[in-house]
Amino acid sequence: MQLTDTAVLITGAKRIGAVVGRELAARGADVAFGYARSKAEADQAAADVRALGRRAAIFQADLSQAEWLIRKMENNLHMQTATWLVTRELTEAAGPWNTKLLGDDDGEYFCRVLMQSDGVRFAPESKVFYRMAGPSSLSYIASSDKKKDAQLHSMRLHIGYLRSLEDTPRSRAACVQYLQNWLVNFHPERPDLVQQMQQLAVELGGHLEVPELSWKYRWIQALVGGIGAKRAQVRLRQLKWSVVRFWDKTLFRMENLTA
């Protein structure tokens, strides 16, 4: 299973965490490691990931609300819903799930959980199985204008939550990086949303760079323009996911036949 263009958070850089990090990096994922005390081991695990050509980040576990949001937005990280353990009181205080936000309804919800909490404590030995993302998942934006509108709305809420906790040069820089990380999902198809993001970045004291397609699609861009090249990129990615799922199912059936 390939994980290109995904970012994964591993709560623990010892033994299993380091091995899982290398495996995920080999499949194309960027990896962030949380650690409790052993920074040296986390540094080594991150170095192993970088040696495989992927990005890596480390952070010490047990974070304040603002610090968690800053690191999430700086590094484009995601903690899947099953990795959170919260009390009923905290759930009720956070309020209802906002389904209008579509693909990022979970991200915005757990921002509100953070706002009502005293901070985040990590359990390094915990594990969770997460489904493989794909073009049929709610979180996959692709060419959906409705999802793009909802995503930018959620991003504005994220920025507002962080600035209500900490409005410093560092937090504002994290917000600008957050916008930059997601700009590729809006450019060039939605110039209206790109303009809004640029204006927001200026208000935060920064500036967004126009994202470029990889070399694999630049020749298509030269022939049919940026929007056509972006569509080709989306279609080819969907085809790749379909092939990976088909191969995974085939191997599963073969294993059952020989078991």
Per domain, the residue ranges of the chain are: 1-61, 212-259
Q: Has this prediction a pTM greater than 0.95?
A: no
Tell me which CATH code domain 1-61 carries: 3.40.50.720
- Secondary structure tally for the chain: helices H, strands E: 9, 3
Residue 207 has a pLDDT of 96
- 39-51 and 16-26 helices, crossing angle to 10°: 20
Say whether pLDDT at 249 is over 80.
yes
Are 104 and 151 a contacting pair, CB within 8 Å? yes
- 145-165 and 191-203 helices, crossing angle to 10°: 10
DSSP element (H, E) containing 183: helix 169-183
Round the average pLDDT of the chain to a whole number and report it.
Answer: 86
160-213 pLDDT, tens digit each: 999 999 999 999 999 999 999 999 999 999 999 999 999 999 999 999 999 887
- Which pair of tokens denotes residue 1? 């299973």
Residue 155 has a pLDDT of 97
- Which pair of tokens denotes residue 211? 């994202």
Q: How far apart are the first and last CA of the chain?
A: 22
Say whether pLDDT at 256 is over 90.
no
18-62 pLDDT, tens digit each: 888 999 998 888 998 877 667 788 899 999 999 999 999 887 767
Query: Furthest-apart CA pair in the chain: how many Å?
Result: 61
- The half-sphere exposure of 75 on its side-chain side, counting CA atoms within 13 A, is 24
For range 211-223, the mean pLDDT: 80
Higher pLDDT, 215 or 180: 180
